[in-house]
């Protein structure tokens, strides 16, 4: 039988075994310590993504947020699809009529502002503010981010009503993944204090703002912008909180608002390629709205002008009509450059004038697109008028392009389109203009909050005309053209209801600022827009929508707040339910 070996006989007493174990662990620890500097670096290198920054420059976060407003192809698609149709500035191209013109409520399209502004500008601005608010060297950058965050918040609440705002963008910072939906009243009340506080932080002796595509670091313009936004937001509340609106409006004027076209808030963009590939959706340097208006197939789907907009300018002999709009043959237009487009605007307008002078009411050469129709629903029967400027133009065009069959292209060239000047990628993104301030002050004067309504009104028209030359290189509108226009019946101040006149001029101005155009039309109810019956049925209601619906995914991600916000809509939640400040 095999002898058992005791612990004592083997020399491995319990006490000794613990000594050996301790010595082994100590040796291991020493070895680990000796290797720690090397191994820590190795594991850090392994677990660090070299393409991701662990700290983002707040100046770049501000710049990226500013550029997103007009540089984000995903977000700006909202204007082409819905906004311009609801304001009846544009109509006829496929996506404008199919969605906005037909009143087609599509969750993917309505969610674009939400999906892009929350994950983009709001997240960047909130992160930059929270991480830099105690850095004295970044006080001006933080102040600018606070001002611009108010502006982005206004876009979201104006689109949707009650939305996450006070807790928005705090997911990574504070772990708030289901932010509360603040009421629109709470949000708007917060704007005034936030703008005043942020403007007061701006310090001319402090570190300048770097990488600023809005004001190039000019702090005085940032202050003026903040104060001018207070005018806009005060007027937005004029029907629901008139006393607060008056108080805040007067306070903003006292603090200093825009007094010239040189103080305007317009985002500087650069010329980039007309690329519609996936990478273009991440590149905010160019004006993406201009790219949408240009179109990925410009010959087949150009940007047509809605008859409502055309008639307002045409009937009042507005000189902006030939600056904003044109008549073009796009068959020879080069994709990506716009070169080769044949401009027949002068010939069309001259022929129209000839027909008007002759009292000819049977023949027409201008066919703007009515609300709810596509361009191909309009098929003119007259395209040649012997002895007219248009006939002479055709003779020259057909000599240069004998393959062109103009009788087959009538809907393309007899319907007004957006002029070439407004299709450039380096066009500015309009946030707020001096002309808008003038119209706000004119309306305020009518309410007794300000003085000199007629002066502000006329100055606003002049400034709205001047910006076409300054930013878009349009032919300058002369003093004679301006004076003739403001003397027109219906345009001359006081010849009709002044509130109507002011807000129709604002509607014309805001063609270049579509988010504000839709907001102000809803707030003022001018111009009076209707959606007439056409051969195409409306998909989701006859009435023009007055809000966008929340993304359906919110019912899964943040259901309690989503349901609570919907329940606060007293007339039943839909895109025909007015937001809080939109009081009929």
Q: Does domain 55-268+513-584 have CATH number 3.40.1030.10?
A: no
**Backbone phi, psi, residue 79, to 5°:** -70, -45
Where b means 16+ CB within 10 Å and e means fewer, 493-523 reads: beeeebbebbbbbbbbbbbbbbbbbbbbbbb
Residue 233: the pLDDT is: 99
**Distance (Å) of CA 378 to CA 39, 207, 267, 301:** 73, 58, 37, 14
Q: What is the pTM of this model?
A: 0.90
Residue with tokens 């030359």: 469
**Secondary structure (3-state) at 244:** helix
Q: Which of 293, 403, 390 is nearest to 344 (CA)?
A: 390
Q: Which residues contact 333 (CB under 8 A, 6 or more apart)?
A: 298, 299, 339, 340, 341
Q: How many residues does the chain have?
A: 584
Give the long-range contacts of residues 486-492, CB within 8 A, separation 24 or more. 486/458, 486/461, 488/316, 488/317, 490/316, 491/316, 491/318
Nearest to 511 by CA among 278, 325, 262: 325
Q: Are 583 and 240 in contact (CB under 8 A)?
A: yes
Tokens 């010849």 locate to 495
Alpha carbons 479 and 485: distance in angstroms, whole number: 10
pLDDT score for 1: 40
What token pair was written down for 155?
A: 């876009």
pLDDT for position 383: 58
Phi, psi of 304 (to 5 degrees): -95, 155
Distance CA 478, CA 307 (A): 26
DSSP bridge pairs for 267: 429
Helix axes 184-201, 242-255, angle to 10 degrees: 10
- Please give the pLDDT value at position 42: 38
Residues 73, 216: Cα–Cα separation, whole Å? 24
Smallest Cα–Cα separation from 415: which of 388, 375, 385?
Answer: 375
Q: Where are the alpha helices (DSSP H) in 169-286?
A: 171-174, 184-201, 219-236, 242-255
Q: Hey, what are 4's tokens? A: 């058992």
Tell me the DSSP string of 503-553.
HHHHHHHGGGSHHHHHHHHHHH--S-------SSPPSS-SSPP-SPPPPTT
353 touches 359 (CB < 8 A): no
pLDDT of residue 73: 96
Report, as ranges of residue numbers, the positions in the chain whose pLDDT lies below 50: 1-48
According to CATH, where is 1.25.40.390 located in the chain? 55-268+513-584
Rg (CA), the chain: 30
What burial letters (b/e) apply to 427-444, b meaning 16+ CB within 10 Å?
bbbbbbbbbbbbbbbbbb
What pLDDT was estimated at residue 540? 96
């Amino acid at each position: 039988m095999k002898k058992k070996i005791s612990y004592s006989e083997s020399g491995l007493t319990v006490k000794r075994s613990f000594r050996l174990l301790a010595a082994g662990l100590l040796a291991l620890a020493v070895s680990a310590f000796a290797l720690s500097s090397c191994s820590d670096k190795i594991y850090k290198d392994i677990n660090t993504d070299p393409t991701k920054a662990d700290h983002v420059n707040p100046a770049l976060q501000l710049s990226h947020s500013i550029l997103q407003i007009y540089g984000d192809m995903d977000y700006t698609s909202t204007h082409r699809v819905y906004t311009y149709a609801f304001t009846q500035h544009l109509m006829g191209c496929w996506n404008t009529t199919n969605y906005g013109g037909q009143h087609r409520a599509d969750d993917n399209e309505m969610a674009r502002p939400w999906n892009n502004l929350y994950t983009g500008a709001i997240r960047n601005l909130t992160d930059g503010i929270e991480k830099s608010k105690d850095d004295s060297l970044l006080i001006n950058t933080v102040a600018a981010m606070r001002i611009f965050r108010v502006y982005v918040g206004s876009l979201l609440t104006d689109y949707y009503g009650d939305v996450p705002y006070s807790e928005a963008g705090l997911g990574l910072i504070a772990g708030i993944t289901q932010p509360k939906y603040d009421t629109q009243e709470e949000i708007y009340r917060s704007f005034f204090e936030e703008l005043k506080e942020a403007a007061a932080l701006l310090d001319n002796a402090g570190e300048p703002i770097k990488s600023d595509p809005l004001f190039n670091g000019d702090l005085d313009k940032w202050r003026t912008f903040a104060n001018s936004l207070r005018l806009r937001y005060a007027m937005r509340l004029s029907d629901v909180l008139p006393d607060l609106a008056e108080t805040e409006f007067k306070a903003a004027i006292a603090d200093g608002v825009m007094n010239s076209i040189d103080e305007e808030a317009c985002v500087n963009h650069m010329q980039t390629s007309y690329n519609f590939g996936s990478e273009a959706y991440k590149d905010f340097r160019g004006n993406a709205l201009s790219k949408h208006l240009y179109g990925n197939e410009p010959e087949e789907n150009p940007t047509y002008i809605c008859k409502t907009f055309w008639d307002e300018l045409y009937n009042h002999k507005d000189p902006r009509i030939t600056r904003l709009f044109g008549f073009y043959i796009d068959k020879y237009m080069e994709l990506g450059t716009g070169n080769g487009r044949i401009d027949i605007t002068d010939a069309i307008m001259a022929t129209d004038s000839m027909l008007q002078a002759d009292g000819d009411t049977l023949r027409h050469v201008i066919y703007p697109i009515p609300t709810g129709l596509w361009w191909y629903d309009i098929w003119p029967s007259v395209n040649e008028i012997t002895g007219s400027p248009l006939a002479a133009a055709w003779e020259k065009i057909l000599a240069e392009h004998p393959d062109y069959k103009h009788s087959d292209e009538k809907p393309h060239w007899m319907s007004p389109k957006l002029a070439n000047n407004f299709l450039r990628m380096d066009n500015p993104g309009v946030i707020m203009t001096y002309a808008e301030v003038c119209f706000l002050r004119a309306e305020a004067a009518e309410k007794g909050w300000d003085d000199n309504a007629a002066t502000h009104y006329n100055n606003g028209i002049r400034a709205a005309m001047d910006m076409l030359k300054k930013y878009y290189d349009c032919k300058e509108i002369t003093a004679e053209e301006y004076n003739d226009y403001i003397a027109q019946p219906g345009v001359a101040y006081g010849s009709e209801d002044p509130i109507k006149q002011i807000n129709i001029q604002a509607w014309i101005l805001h063609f270049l600022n579509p988010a504000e155009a839709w907001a102000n039309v809803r707030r003022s109810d001018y111009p009076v827009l209707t959606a007439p019956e056409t051969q195409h049925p409306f998909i989701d209601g006859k009435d023009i929508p007055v809000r966008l619906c929340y993304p359906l995914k919110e019912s899964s991600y943040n259901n309690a707040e989503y349901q609570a916000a919907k329940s606060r809509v007293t007339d039943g939640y839909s895109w025909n339910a007015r937001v809080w400040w939109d009081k009929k």
